[in-house]
């Protein structure tokens, strides 16, 4: 099964079509850290990370991990070992905080962009996450919560995402 980003405003999965938003500067094959672009290509999906203090564990075939206060996603292009991976925020590295005051990361699925054989500075923290207003993201793909919960019921551990 493949999720297809048809254009900057819609994701298609089987017979479902969901409104979404993407990076502020569109889609690019030449993604770099902080450029506000969504990477072009076909990628796998990681586990579902969720805030269990805000919602129950969603129904999905993906492995689910609770987001804790000290969780971050490393975007420090100086650190080959931790770059584009989940880390403990007590480390002295740059990171994207997963336990946020807003709702955006109540549900997130990391997109496996720059995952294996990662290249420092090529981009990190590319997620499927939540939005309320469809404002452009920093490079992620965002959906409304009700659509995200439907998507979770459809996809599985072998699902890919195609970003055109």
Q: Where are the domains of the chain?
A: 2-163
CATH 2.40.440.10 matches 2-163: yes
What is the per-residue pLDDT for 113? Answer: 98
What is the per-residue pLDDT for 91? Answer: 83
What is the per-residue pLDDT for 90? Answer: 87
Rounded Cα distance between 149 and 151, Å, is 5
What is the per-residue pLDDT for 146? Answer: 97
What is the per-residue pLDDT for 6? Answer: 84
Judge contact between 64 and 50, C-beta under 8 A.
Answer: yes
Token couple for 146: 């009700």
Rounded Cα distance between 7 and 70, Å, is 35
What is the full per-residue pLDDT of the chain (164 aa) written as tens digits? Answer: 999 998 889 999 989 999 999 999 999 999 999 999 999 999 999 999 999 999 999 999 999 999 999 999 999 999 999 999 999 998 889 999 999 999 999 999 999 999 999 999 999 999 999 999 999 999 999 999 999 999 999 999 999 999 99
Judge contact between 84 and 56, C-beta under 8 A.
Answer: no
Judge contact between 22 and 6, C-beta under 8 A.
Answer: no
Judge contact between 4 and 11, C-beta under 8 A.
Answer: yes
């Amino acid at each position: 099964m493949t999720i297809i980003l048809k254009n900057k405003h819609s994701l298609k999965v089987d017979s479902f079509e969901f409104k979404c938003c993407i990076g502020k500067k569109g889609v690019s094959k030449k993604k770099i850290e902080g450029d506000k672009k969504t990477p072009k290509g076909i990628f796998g999906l990681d586990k579902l990370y969720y805030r269990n203090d805000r919602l129950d564990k969603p129904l999905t075939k993906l492995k689910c991990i609770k987001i804790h206060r000290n969780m971050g996603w490393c975007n420090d292009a100086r650190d080959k070992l931790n770059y584009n991976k989940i880390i403990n925020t007590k480390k002295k590295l740059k990171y994207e905080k997963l336990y946020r005051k807003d709702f955006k990361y109540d549900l997130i699925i990391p997109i496996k962009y720059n995952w294996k054989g990662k290249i420092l500075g090529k981009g990190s923290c590319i997620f499927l996450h939540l939005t309320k207003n469809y404002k452009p993201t920093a490079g992620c793909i965002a959906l409304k919560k009700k659509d995200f919960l439907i998507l979770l019921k459809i996809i599985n551990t072998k699902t890919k995402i195609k970003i055109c």
